[in-house]
Structures are given as structure tokens and as C-alpha cells.
């Protein structure tokens, strides 16, 4: 009994081994009998430059037909960017020795990042062929290894950031008006769009915003888009910046130059982003220059009338001074200014007026920092950041409010978050300030 069981197990392993051998031999038989071929080639046979795309075409052909799509193994190359391969094969037919052959072509594109010789290893191919006698046969084949030489023209030797393309353009849009004088708190938006043929969006130049004192620059995430038009890859990179004016002055942003190797003319070309210039005026109103009066221009009656007016104004101011001090003390005790700014801030939030809300929040924060914060509007964004620097959550809420007010993307800032920002500034009237006001009242009453 045991001997019979051993024979059965041996026979089972023998059958399995033979089936695996037949499975592998069937694919080899199709190749040996010239019923299945595999070929790899480079589409563009011209000299390759560093960062120029290289496309490999892998063609599988059979005199029968394919049972399903051909699967291509992953190409791993150091010092290169390999684009994701399309899941769709290019199907076709051709005549060989009077017979019709079915073909499937898959393409792999990579961008070499250094000069020298690139060794392309054998790439695995899994195929399924519907044969005449054995039914569907599935197996794995391998392409031949290749070597591709990549050169670096002398003109590119000292350039690091460049691309290789037959066409490269840049489009610059902004709402900056050079004919007006801006005010502190104003802003403008600049959008820069790069477009290139045969280059994916991720390989187009990355813009570095300038660092200029007196400006806050907000950058939106870059928008990358790759499309194919008649088999030509077109890459797009779109970046948007918002410039917010925090200080008065004359501002200048230098022009920027980007280089590219023209693969049609084999020359170095360049594109430019123009410079920017604008003026930000002061928020403080300019006083009119006093007129130059002389006593000789008045007769005696005019002089007496002027003295009466001066004395009358002086007396009125003395009377109003007591009322003003009492009203000021009352407002501080009842936090009237705080309540007014709170209502105004929340009203701006409800009406989605986020720029006005940011400036009102700055005024509100000054009530608790009267000794440390300069009483001007030149640095209100900087002052707000300093005011909330001890709270990570409130700093994030402040950035969200500023982005909603000055960013190009429409964001909604909710009232609950706005109320959370107000919890930082609890207005308290110090004992010293109250005593100071009371003493001033006593002195004026004497």
C-alpha cells in the first residue's frame, strides 16, 4: 500500500514537472519556429543630448493573434526620469512572407540627466498567444540589451537649469497698474505659465519668488498638466503669486531668464519674465502747508475779530476737554472700542470681506499691545504674526484668513474661527491708566 502511494506521488510530481517544461517550451517553440518575434528599437536615431527624451519602442509580433494585451516589465535606470508607461498598446498588422502578422507596440520614454553611455538592460515581456493546436499559450520573453550614448554640447556645460525641446513659451499675467500709487494693504496677483513640447510639466522650471523687505508673497501650489496632441507630449506648469504691500516705498522685482536647448536648431535659446516696478504710498494723510499771514495784511478790526475767535475757541476746548476725558474714561471702563471693533470684524467675516477683516483684526490687536506695537499701519501683517506667534492654532487661522483675503483662490473663513482669533485679545484697563486719567480730570477741574 505504501509502495503504491509512493508511485502515485512520484507520478504526480513527474506530470507537474513535465507540464511546467511544456509551458516554458511552448513559448520558446513559437520563437524558434519564427511564429513569434520581439524587437526593441529607439524611435529617434539622432544624437541624444542630456535632458532630451529618448523613446524606446518594443514590438511583439505573431503570425497568429494575441489572446490579451502584452505586459511590459519596469525599466529602472539611474540618473534618469522614466515616464509612466501607457496601459494601451499600439495594435497593428503587417505582411511577412505572404502571411498577415498581428503586432503590438509599447513605448517607454525616459530623460537622461547626465552625459555618457546608458546601458538599457533586457526588459521582460509577458505575452499570451492563441496558437493553432495548443490553445492559449502564455509566457515571458526578454528584449535585447541596448547602449545609448548621451552627449552634452559645450554651450550647455555651464547651465544647470535648462530643458530640451523644440518649442518653449512663457505667458505672464498680472493685475499690476503702474499708473497708480498703491496703499499699504493693497495687493496684486501674478500668474506665470510655462509650456513646452516633449517635456512633462514636472520637468519645467520651478519659480523662486523674490525675498523683498516690505512685501508678503503667498504662493499657490503649482498646477501641472500633461496632454498629448497627435502623439506629441505637451507639458504645462502654472504658478500663481500674490504680493501684499506692508510698507511704503518704491519696489522692483528683477527680470528672470530661462534657457533651453532648441532640439530643432541645436542652439541655446532663452525666454524672459519681465521685471516689475511699482510705488506704495504712505497711509498717513498729508497736511496742507500753512499759509503765510502777516499782520500788515489785516486792519485793526480784523485783528480784534481774530483775537475774539481765538479766545472763544480756547474756552470751548477747555469746556470740551472735561467732557472728552470723562467720555474716554467711560469708554475704557466699558470696553466700547473693543466691542465696536469686534462687531466690525465679525461683520466683515460674514460678508466675506477678508481684507477689511484682517485690517480690523490688526486694530483690535493693538488694544492689548499699546506699549509694544507702533501706532501705524506699515507692518500690520507682521504685527499680527507677532501677536499670535505663541499659538500654533491661531497662527494657522491667521494664515487662512490672509490667504482668503489676498490669495487668488476663493476660500471661506467661518465665524467660529474668527471668534477664536478674538480670544487672544482680552482688553483690560490697568490701574495705572485709570489713575492717570482721574488725575488729569482733577488737574483740569482746579
Cα 421 to the chain's mean position, in Å?
A: 27
pLDDT digits 0-9 by tens, 276-297: 999 999 863 233 444 443 444 4
pLDDT digits 0-9 by tens, 362-404: 888 887 665 444 445 546 788 888 888 888 888 888 888 888 8
The percent of residues in the chain predicted with pLDDT above 90, rounded, is 44
CB 425, CB 364: distance < 8 Å: yes
Alpha helices in 335-412 (DSSP H): 336-350, 354-366, 380-387, 392-406
In sequence order, the 6+-apart residues with CB closer than 8 A to the CB of 2 are none
pTM of the model: 0.57
Among 400, 380, 376, 396, which Cα is nearest to 388's? 396
The rounded distance, in Å, linking the Cα atoms of 375 and 362 is 11
Compute φ and ψ for 421, nearest 5 degrees: -65, -30
Note the pLDDT of residue 333: 56
How many residues appear in the chain? Answer: 446
The pairs formed by 37-44 with CB atoms below 8 angstroms and a separation of 24 or more are: 37/61, 37/62, 38/125, 38/141, 38/142, 38/143, 39/143, 40/120, 40/123, 40/143, 40/144, 40/146, 42/146, 42/148, 43/107
Note the pLDDT of residue 327: 62
| Residue 436 pLDDT grade (very low, low, confident, very high; cuts 50, 70, 90) | very low
Q: Which CATH architecture is the domain 2-152 placed in?
A: Sandwich (2.60)
| Most confident listed range (92-96, 365-369, 406-410) | 92-96
In sequence order, the 6+-apart residues with CB closer than 8 A to the CB of 216 are 243, 244, 246, 381, 402, 406
**Residue-averaged pLDDT of the chain:** 80
CB 213, CB 252: distance < 8 Å: no
Amino acid at each position: 500500500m505504501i509502495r503504491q502511494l509512493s508511485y502515485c506521488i512520484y507520478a504526480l510530481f513527474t506530470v507537474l514537472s513535465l507540464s511546467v517544461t511544456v509551458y516554458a517550451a511552448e513559448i520558446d517553440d513559437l520563437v524558434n519556429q519564427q511564429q513569434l518575434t520581439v524587437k526593441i528599437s529607439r524611435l529617434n536615431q539622432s544624437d541624444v543630448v542630456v535632458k532630451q527624451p529618448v523613446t524606446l519602442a518594443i514590438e511583439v509580433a505573431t503570425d497568429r493573434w494575441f489572446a490579451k494585451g502584452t505586459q511590459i516589465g519596469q525599466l529602472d535606470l539611474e540618473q534618469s526620469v522614466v515616464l509612466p508607461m501607457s496601459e494601451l498598446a499600439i495594435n497593428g498588422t503587417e505582411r511577412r512572407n505572404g502571411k498577415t502578422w498581428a503586432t503590438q507596440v509599447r513605448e517607454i520614454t525616459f530623460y537622461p540627466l547626465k552625459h555618457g553611455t546608458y546601458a538599457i538592460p533586457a526588459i521582460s515581456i509577458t505575452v499570451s498567444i492563441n496558437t493553432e493546436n495548443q490553445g492559449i499559450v502564455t509566457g515571458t520573453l526578454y528584449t535585447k540589451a541596448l547602449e545609448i550614448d548621451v552627449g552634452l554640447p559645450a554651450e550647455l556645460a555651464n547651465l544647470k537649469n535648462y530643458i530640451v525641446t523644440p518649442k518653449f513659451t512663457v505667458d505672464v499675467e498680472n493685475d499690476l497698474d503702474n499708473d497708480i500709487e498703491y496703499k499699504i494693504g493693497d495687493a496684486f496677483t501674478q500668474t506665470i505659465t510655462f509650456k513646452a513640447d516633449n517635456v512633462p510639466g514636472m520637468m519645467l522650471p520651478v519659480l523662486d519668488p523674490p525675498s523683498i523687505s516690505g512685501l508678503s508673497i503667498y504662493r499657490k501650489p503649482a498646477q501641472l498638466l500633461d496632454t498629448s496632441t497627435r502623439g506629441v507630449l505637451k507639458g504645462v506648469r502654472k504658478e500663481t503669486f500674490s504680493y501684499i504691500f506692508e510698507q511704503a516705498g518704491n519696489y522692483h522685482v528683477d527680470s528672470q531668464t530661462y534657457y533651453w536647448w532648441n532640439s530643432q536648431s541645436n542652439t541655446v535659446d532663452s525666454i524672459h519674465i519681465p521685471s516689475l516696478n511699482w510705488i506704495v504710498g504712505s497711509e498717513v494723510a498729508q497736511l496742507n502747508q500753512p499759509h503765510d499771514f502777516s499782520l500788515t495784511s489785516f486792519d485793526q478790526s480784523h485783528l480784534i475779530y481774530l483775537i475774539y475767535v481765538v479766545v472763544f475757541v480756547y474756552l470751548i476746548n477747555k469746556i470740551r476737554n472735561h467732557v472728552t476725558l470723562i467720555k474716554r474714561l467711560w469708554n475704557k471702563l466699558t470696553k466700547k472700542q473693543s466691542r465696536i471693533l469686534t462687531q466690525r470684524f465679525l461683520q466683515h467675516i460674514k460678508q466675506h470681506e477678508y481684507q477689511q477683516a484682517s485690517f480690523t483684526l490688526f486694530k483690535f490687536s493693538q488694544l492689548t499691545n499699546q506699549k509694544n506695537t507702533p501706532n501705524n499701519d506699515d507692518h500690520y501683517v507682521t504685527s499680527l504674526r507677532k501677536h499670535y506667534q505663541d499659538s500654533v492654532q491661531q497662527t494657522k487661522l491667521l494664515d487662512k484668513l490672509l490667504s482668503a483675503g489676498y490669495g487668488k483662490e476663493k476660500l471661506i473663513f467661518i465665524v467660529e474661527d474668527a471668534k477664536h482669533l478674538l480670544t487672544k485679545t482680552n482688553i483690560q484697563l490697568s490701574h495705572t491708566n485709570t489713575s492717570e486719567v482721574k488725575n488729569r480730570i482733577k488737574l483740569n477741574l482746579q
